Structure 1
Amino acid sequence: MIAQQTLFSPRRYPSGVVSTDSWDGYPGARARLLQSLARHAPRNSVLLGGDIHQNFVCKVLADAGADGQQPAGPVIASEFCGTSISSRAGTTQDKVDAIARHNPHVLLARCDLRGYGLADITPQRWTTTLRVVDDPLRADSGASTLARFVVEDGRAGPVPA
C-alpha cells in the first residue's frame, strides 16, 4: 500500500487541460513509480490518495500516457482516492462525469457526495467501502454505502463488489 496526498492516476480532461497540482504535473516521477511497481511483480498493490475532495476509484495501468495519450498497458495496481467528510469539491458532478468518460481506467468518480472510505484488509483481499454522509452539515448525520470494491491477492485492479 502506498499512501500519498492526491490522485495518482492520470485525469485527461476533455478540454486537453493538464492539472499540474497532481501527479499529472510530475510525469517523470509517476513513470518511475509505475516502472518500479511493474518491475517488482506486485501481488495487489493499492495506492491511497485524497486532497481533491472527490472519490475516485481507478485501475492503475503500467503506462500513464503522455502528451494527451490515454493510459495503456496491463493493470498493475488499484487506486482509491477519498473525498472529504465536509468540504465541497469546487467542481460539478457534470464536469467530473465528463472527465470519467474521457478516462476509461476510472471506475468511479464522484464529487457531489461527502464521506469517507473504509478498508478491510486480509491476506486474501483488500475491500474498500466508500461511505457517504446524508448531511455533512449535521454531526448526527446518517451514512450509507456508495460503492464497494475488492482487490484480490495476485490480481491487480479493483473490482466492484
Structure 2
Amino acid sequence: MLNIVLYEPEIPANTGNIGRTCVATGTRLHLIEPLGFKLNEKALKRAGMDYWKDLDVTTYIDYQDFLEKNPGAKIYMATTKAHKVYTEVDYESDCYIMFGKESAGIPEEILVEHEEDCMRIPMNGDIRSLNLGNSVAIVLYEALRQNGFAGMNLSGELHELHWK
C-alpha cells in the first residue's frame, strides 16, 4: 500500500481533496503537525465529502515522531528544488511520498538529508508550484501506474441510454 505524507498542511480543502484521492486509490495518508486547521473542520469534510470516514489517516506531532513510528520507510520527497523528475523514480509498492506545506514546501534541512530521494514535477517559467492536491494526484498516479494499479478497477462499462 502506498503512503502519502503531508508535512504541516495548511489548507483544509487541499487535505480534504487529498484524503478523497487516498480513499479512491487505497492509499494511506500521514499528516505531520502542526496542521493549519482542525481535523473536524467543515471545509476539510466538504472537500473529502463522505469519504473521510473511510480514510486510513495517521497524524504525528512532528517530523521526528513520523520517522520514529515508520522506521526504515522509503521516503520520496516532492520539491521544486529536486534535480530529477517524478517519472524518473522507481516507486516501491509500500513507499512514502512526502509533500510540504503549501506556503513553504518541505524544509531544506530535511531535503538535504534526502537529496537523492527528492523529485519534482516539471513546470514552465517562474511558477512557484502547483496546487498541493494536484501535485499529490500527479505523483501518486505515476506510483500506482508503476505498480500496475494493484487492486484498482481497470475497466468500466458504458450503458446504452434509450431516449424517447
Query: What is the TM-score of this pair, normalised by structure 1?
Result: 0.25
Which structure: larger Rg?
A: 2
- Tell me which of the two structures has the higher relative contact order, counting C-alpha pairs closer than 8 angstroms and 6 or more residues apart: 2
Question: Hey, which of these two has a bigger chunk of strand by percent?
Answer: 1
* TM-score, L = length of structure 2: 0.25
